Each structure stands twice: as structure tokens, then as C-alpha cells.
Amino acid sequence: MRILSGIQPSGKLHIGNYFGMMKPAIELQEQGEAFLFIADYHALTSVRDADSLRQMTMDVALDFLAAGLDPDKTAFYRQSDVPEVQELAWILSVITPMGLLERCHSYKDKTAKGLAATHGLFAYPVLMAADILSVQSTVVPVGRDQKQHVEVTRDIATKFNHQYAEVFTIPKPSIRDSVAVVPGIDGQKMSKSYDNTLEIFGAPGPLKKRVMKVVTDCKELEDPKDPTTCNVFALYNLFATDEEAVDLAMRYRAGNFGYGTAKKELLSKINEHFAPMREKRGELEKNMDFVEEVLRKGAKKARAETQKTLHAARKAVGLE
């Protein structure tokens, strides 16, 4: 099994990223041959400051290595360090039907949120297809809201294989359903777009302020409370053992238990969970040469696979 995942360096990684993508991706490195890339080309659709892009790219690298990614088990690389993907994206683009891209909800969603309606944003699924197909991945872990991108990739690969030659492996999506939607401090899905995140490696002071702002209902201290509808409990439950979750739920329902206390317990759980990773990240920051070497080696492995794929694609269409 060959697994490919990618993440954009478009802001500080948060708890939603961790449980939705980071943790599952790190766990998958034990189950097959793993490729994980930092999608800096994709980030150009929304990030317009060069220094910010460079910094956020390295932040993502530090975050994943601190969270447990093993570069001996996962080829970890910057998308921009594998230029063959761009040529492959063009080859795929000339056979991709406009109607297929026009049906993609991601473009509509992002332009509705204010992103510029650029060609890059519109053609995003083709570049994603090139990312996936370039290393001949068999499995692509995605959230349910991203399943369409893998379906588009499958359609493009099938069309190419039928029209030219059997060059591409047809990948399958692996839907991450094990973790429910992680709520942000306002109760919506945690997202940088909504500015409602709790950063994994945020400074203690700002993190505490954010946790204390998590939206709750207006019940009084003495009132019984429903843990199943509480954002604080939903976040606590991500970190707690079954016994701890049951205990907190009982205190909610018994009354005479305030949301402020629940938020303090949530903050304690967050700090306890991420403390070892924060310590490791601090150590990695002192050795950025090592981080660069990890990305260089990952890119070398990815390029070896991508060059074989590109050669086969070029030969199939008549460029070689």
C-alpha cells in the first residue's frame, strides 16, 4: 500500500488539523509506504506574502516532526522541491474536461469566502491529481469534504489510461470518519478561515485566553448541563480517556459545575497532551539544518518515483 497525504502551509496548525489530518497521517506511516508533502504550490492560491509562505512552510515541517513523523518511514517533502509534478499537471490538464472542474465544490466554496477567482484556484484539482498520481499512490486519506478531489483524480487517471496507455494507478480515497468535526471556539468547525482555532504550539498565555472564549450556553452554575451539546466537552473528549469523559459528563449533569471549571480542565488536557511535542519542537528549532535535510531526502525519494511516472506519461503522449 502506498499512501499520499498533503497539507497546505497557510497558517498555524491547530487542534482540528491535528486530529483531522496530522495524527491519522502519522499513524498511517506504520501501515504502508508513506509520502507526505507540504503543499506550498497549492498555498499560492491564498498566500501572497513570500516571507510568510517560507515561514509557514518551515512551521509545518517542524510541527509534523515534533508530532511524531518519522522521516525513515515517511518521505516528507516540499511540493515545490518536486518540479516534475508541475509538468505532469500540464499533461493532465489538456485531457481534463472543463465540466469536471466546474462541478468541483471547493472552487465555489473558496470564492464565496472571498478568495480571488484565479485560474490556479480553478485548476487546483488538476495539480492535486498530479500530486497523487505522480508517486502512483494507491490510498489517499481525506476528510469526507475532500473526497471529491480524489474522485476527480480517479476520473482524470482513467481517462488518460484509456486514451493513451495504462500509466497511472487508480487511487482509492480512505475517508477519515473516526474523528467527528472538531469545534472551534465559536462552535463552528475549527478552521483558520473562521479565526476560531486553538493552536497546537501556541504560547501559553494566548492559548489560555482562547480556551476561555469557547462558546457555551447561558446556564447558571447550579443548573444541570448537557455535555452532548457543549463545545468545551466535545474538545475535552478528544483528549480524555473514556473514564475521564464519563466523569466529566456526570459532573455536567449533576449541576453546581461551571463552564469555567470545564475550560480549565480542557486547557490542562491540551497542555498535557502537547507538552512533549512542544519540547521536541523547541529542540528542532535549534537544528534547522536537520529539518532541511529531512525535506531534501524526502524530495529525493519522491522525485525518483515522480520521474518514472513522468517519463511514462511523456512517452505515452508523444513527448519522448
Mean pLDDT of the chain, nearest integer: 94
Q: What is the residue-wise DSSP string for the chain? A: -EEEEEE--SS--BHHHIIIIIHHHHHHTTTSEEEEEE-HHHHTTT---HHHHHHHHHHHHHHHHHHT--TTTEEEEEGGG-THHHHHHHHHHTTS-HHHHHT-HHHHHHHHTT----HHHHTHHHHHHHHHHHTT-SEEEE-GGGHHHHHHHHHHHHHHHHHT-S-S---EEEE--SSPPPB-TTSSBP-GGGT---BTT--HHHHHHHHTT-------TTS---GGG-HHHHHHHHHS-HHHHHHHHHHHHHSS--HHHHHHHHHHHHHHHHHHHHHHHHHHHT-HHHHHHHHHHHHHHHHHHHHHHHHHHHHHHT--
Q: How confident is the model at residue 80 (pLDDT cuts 50, 70, 90)?
A: very high
Q: Is the pLDDT of residue 109 over 60?
A: yes
What's the pLDDT score for residue 178?
54
What's the pLDDT score for residue 131?
98
What's the pLDDT score for residue 274?
96
Q: Which residue numbers are catalytic?
A: 110, 189, 192
Domains in the chain with CATH codes: 192-282 (1.10.240.10)
What's the pLDDT score for residue 115?
84
pLDDT tens figures, 199-246? 999 889 999 999 999 999 999 999 999 999 999 999 999 999 999 999
What's the pLDDT score for residue 112?
84
Q: Is the pLDDT of residue 180 over 80?
A: no
pLDDT tens figures, 281-291? 999 999 999 99
Q: Is the pLDDT of residue 179 over 70?
A: no
